[in-house]
Structure 1
């Protein structure tokens, strides 16, 4: 299977510009997202839940990034679960995490590779638009 860009750079630019319009402080999340990729899909997905109450604009940025990953993966033929979940619903959080852990290992690797590239693009665009 050949590498396809799936417009990741364009998606990342839009995500960064949207975050910048909402809250310039959210831009620093791109760097945190890139680091979080190494911990796996379930941890990346769950980060928006941690931020939901304290920092909703940052949570929205994480969630929008996740939603874009899910959409790109559909184009790649890989289904990534994306159930709507509230942080306080431990049962739903647990169920969603289980679904992510149950993804075929090859599909997980592809999703991680795509998420890594998407986050690299986010970091690049953040560096271009973030004021010093």
Structure 2
């Protein structure tokens, strides 16, 4: 079995561009995403719920990133839970969290490694597509 590209860089670029199109400030969440990886899959997954209803564009960006992780991991043969969850139903949240905590340790480690790389790519593309005064200062 050889190395296989899962096109994380392309996925990240699309995520950043889609988020930027919806709300130019949403891609700034990429830095928070990268930091959140260290806290585990369940915390990363849950962040979209925290933002749901008050910062919809940011919530969607987090959820789309989770969806992308789930698809990549599925291609790699690792099943990551991705249930539709009503943020107002505590039982739904508990059930999804339990599924994430029950993942085999090896699957958790692989998923965290892939999520880390995906978020690194997202941060890179966010930097490249920054607009406004800060971006002009960085480039000069």
TM norm structure 2: 0.92
Say yes or no: does 1:130 pair with 2:130. Answer: yes
Partner of 1:24, secondary structure, is coil
Distance 1:94 1:119 in 2: 25
2:74 alignment counterpart: 74
Residue 43 of structure 2 aligns to a residue in which SS? helix
1:29 — aligned with what?
Answer: 29
Q: What's the counterpart of residue 121 of structure 1?
A: 121
Q: CA RMSD in A?
A: 1.0
Matched, 1:17 2:23: no
Number of residue pairs matched by the alignment? 132
**Residue matched to 1:56:** 56
TM-score, normalised by the number of residues in structure 1: 0.97
Higher CA-based Rg: 2
Q: 2:85 and 2:3 mapped to 1: Cα distance?
A: 32
d(CA) in 1 for partners of 2:56, 2:3: 34
**Structure 2 unaligned residues grouped into runs of 5+:** 136-140
Q: Give SS of 2:87's match.
A: coil
Shift of 1:2: 5.4
